[in-house]
Amino acid sequence: EPEVTQTPSHQVTQMGQEVILRCVPISNHLYFYWYRQILGQKVEFLVSFYNNEISEKSEIFDDQFSVERPDGSNFTLKIRSTKLEDSAMYFCASNRDTAGAYEQYFGPGTRLTVT
Amino acid sequence: GDSVTQMEGPVTLSEEAFLTINCTYTATGYPSLFWYVQYPGEGLQLLLKATKADDKGSNKGFEATYRKETTSFHLEKGSVQVSDSAVYFCALSDGDNNAGNMLTFGGGTRLMVKP
B74-103 residues touching A, CB cutoff 8 A: 89, 91, 93, 97-103
Q: Is B106 near chain A, with CB under 8 Å?
A: yes
Give the model's confidence band at A40: pLDDT under 50 very low, under 70 low, under 90 confident, else very high: confident
In this complex, which of B44, B45, B99 lies closest to A97 when CB atoms are compared? B99
What is the reported pLDDT for A11? 97
Query: How much is the average pLDDT of B75-97?
Result: 90
Residues 6+ apart with CB under 8 A from B10: B109, B110, B111, B112
What is the reported pLDDT for B96? 60
What is the reported pLDDT for B1? 82
What is the reported pLDDT for B33? 92
- Check pLDDT > 60 for residue B22: yes
Give the model's confidence band at B60: pLDDT under 50 very low, under 70 low, under 90 confident, else very high: very high
Higher pLDDT, A3 or A14: A14
Spatial separation of the C-alpha atoms in residues A61 and A46, rounded to whole Å: 6
Q: Is B70 near chain A, with CB under 8 Å?
A: no
Burial class (CB in 10 A: 0-12, 13-18, 19+), A98: exposed
Closest Cα partner for B24 from B77, B86, B91?
Answer: B91
Higher pLDDT, B82 or B93: B82
Query: How much is the average pLDDT of A11-39?
Result: 94
Give the model's confidence band at B100: pLDDT under 50 very low, under 70 low, under 90 confident, else very high: low
CB distance B6 to B107 below 8 Å: yes
Give the model's confidence band at B102: pLDDT under 50 very low, under 70 low, under 90 confident, else very high: confident
Q: Do A45 and B104 touch (CB under 8 A)?
A: yes
Q: How far is CA B28 from CA B64, B92, B101, in A?
A: 21, 11, 14
Q: How far is CA B16 from CA A63, B11, B57, B80, B99, in A?
A: 50, 14, 21, 5, 37
Q: Is B43 near chain A, with CB under 8 Å?
A: yes
